[in-house]
Amino acid sequence: MINELNALPENFLSARVEDLFSMLKKPTLIHLTGKNKQPLFICTLLHGNETTGFYALQNLLKQYQQAELPRSISVFIGNIEAAKNNQRRLDRQVDFNRIWPGTHEHFLAEAHMMKQITEIMQQKKPFASIDIHNNTGCNPHYGCINKLDSQYLALAGMFSNIVVYFTSPKGVQSSAFAEFCPSVTLECGQSGEVGGIDHATKYLDSVLTLDEMPTVVPEHIHLYHTVARVFIPEGYSFGFADDATINLHSEIESYNFRSLALGTVFASIEPDSSAYLQAFDDDDREVGRDYFEYTDNDIALRKTMMPAMLTTDTTVIRQDCLCYLMEKIECPE
């Protein structure tokens, strides 16, 4: 189900993401040899409309066209069919970042593909794993980890002093690789922003030249733990124009990475409606009533929380979730 190559395809360094499907035909794992043979794993385009990782990778490799790579690199280019159409995923597809080992949907053909990639890379004993993403809504650049370990914190802290620790959803790439190497997910702002591409490029080059992980300085890290993922139930219409069962606050993106007081309104609902927001904790228990209260047709926070990944893109909200709710935690020594 995948291509596995030991060299870059012709014209790879000048390709646009929308060209990759005709060039590669299917998801592709590429191994490039460098001076240090322990590879850095770089994962891009698990979501087809999140292009920063691919263009940062191109920039990185262009820098070494006339020089030996400091370290070997293994690159996975993911959902190129969705990338051709500038979509997170096609309607008939599963989410490519929910089907890695640890997924509840291990029976899917795509999950077998991700298991194959994981097994190939585990044999190669990678130095680190970096999965590069974009946010749809306005968020700062930040790193995400799945283990509270100094090497994982260091890897994320090299990218941003904002680090998010999460263990749900299941089946994400960073969590699968976290079982055998330091692993991070980068959130590089909105897709296509030059600043995000430049930031990711410099970060990749910095990690590529490391001999070992740096020491973490805890006071430099702002560490957050996701406590719930919030969804709009399938049975309810929603939007931002006061014409749906659930009408989200029009300025909701401005809530991202802000500490919101209890009583902050997220949405209004139709009078006499039974509409509600769902929230699931790390054990997939529905805990919406712990975080939201319903008064005078408003849905408001029941406690002080910090959200992330809120967006006004209704397609992404349906395909993924409305947001994550987080709390600040102490950075381990």
CATH number for the domain spanning 203: value is 3.40.630.10
pLDDT of the residue at 2: 86
Last residue of a domain, one of 172, 195, 216: 216
Task: Clarify whether residues 156 and 257 are in a common domain.
Answer: no
pLDDT of the residue at 208: 97
Amino acid at residue number 219: E
Q: Which residues contact 209 (CB under 8 A, 6 or more apart)?
A: 70, 71
pLDDT of the residue at 137: 86
Task: Clarify whether residues 36 and 173 are in a common domain.
Answer: yes
Q: Considering its fold, how many domains does the chain have in total?
A: 2
pLDDT of the residue at 219: 84
Task: Clarify whether residues 184 and 234 are in a common domain.
Answer: no
Last residue of a domain, one of 175, 198, 216: 216
**What is each CA distance from 161 to 5, 143, 154, 155, in whole angstroms?**
35, 8, 10, 11
Give the angle 174-159-323 at the CA atoms, nearest 5°: 60
pLDDT of the residue at 325: 97
Q: Which residues contact 92 (CB under 8 A, 6 or more apart)?
A: none
Q: Which domain holds residue 118?
A: 3-216
pLDDT of the residue at 331: 87
pLDDT of the residue at 241: 80
Is there a contact between 279 and 287 (Cβ–Cβ < 8 Å)? yes
Whether residue 108 lies inside any domain: the answer is: yes
Question: Rounded to 10 degrees, what is the CA torsion of 71, 30, 175, 160?
Answer: 50
What is the per-residue pLDDT across 266-282, written as a single tens digit (0 to 9) for each?
999 998 888 999 999 99
Whether residue 293 lies inside any domain: the answer is: yes
Is there a contact between 287 and 242 (Cβ–Cβ < 8 Å)? no
**What is each CA distance from 191 to 24, 194, 197, 298, in whole angstroms?**
22, 9, 9, 32
Phi and psi at residue 112, in whole multiples of 5°?
A: -65, -35
Phi and psi at residue 201, in whole multiples of 5°?
A: -65, -50
Amino acid at residue number 114: M
pLDDT of the residue at 299: 95
Residue holding tokens 């990782």? 53
Task: Clarify whether residues 265 and 196 are in a common domain.
Answer: no
Tokens of 110: 């795509």
pLDDT of the residue at 323: 96
Tokens of 191: 């897709």
**What is each CA distance from 325 to 135, 201, 305, in whole angstroms?**
15, 29, 6
Task: Clarify whether residues 154 and 236 are in a common domain.
Answer: no
Task: Clarify whether residues 153 and 286 are in a common domain.
Answer: no
Strand order in the sheet with 298-301: 238-239, 246-248, 265-269, 298-301, 292-295
Task: Clarify whether residues 121 and 16 are in a common domain.
Answer: yes
Residue 76's DSSP bridge partners are: 29, 43
Last residue of a domain, one of 175, 197, 216: 216
**What is each CA distance from 199 to 169, 217, 293, 301, in whole angstroms?**
26, 21, 39, 34
Q: Please identify every stretch of the chain with a pLDDT value under 70, giving residue numbers as ranges.
A: none
Whether residue 221 lies inside any domain: the answer is: no
Task: Clarify whether residues 80 and 208 are in a common domain.
Answer: yes
pLDDT of the residue at 15: 97
- Concatenate the DSSP letters of all residues of 129-198 into one string: EEEEE--SS----EEEESS--HHHHHHHHTT-SEEEE---SSS-HHHHHTTTS-EEEEE-SSTT-HHHHH
Task: Clarify whether residues 42 and 152 are in a common domain.
Answer: yes
Task: Clarify whether residues 256 and 292 are in a common domain.
Answer: yes
Q: How far apart are CA 41 and CA 27, in angstroms?
A: 15
Task: Clarify whether residues 253 and 312 are in a common domain.
Answer: yes
pLDDT of the residue at 151: 95
pTM: 0.94
pLDDT of the residue at 216: 84
Task: Clarify whether residues 122 and 237 are in a common domain.
Answer: no
Q: Give SS3 for 290.
A: helix
Residue 294's DSSP bridge partners are: 299
Instruction: Name which of 188, 180, 182, 148 is nearest 164 in CA terms.
Output: 148
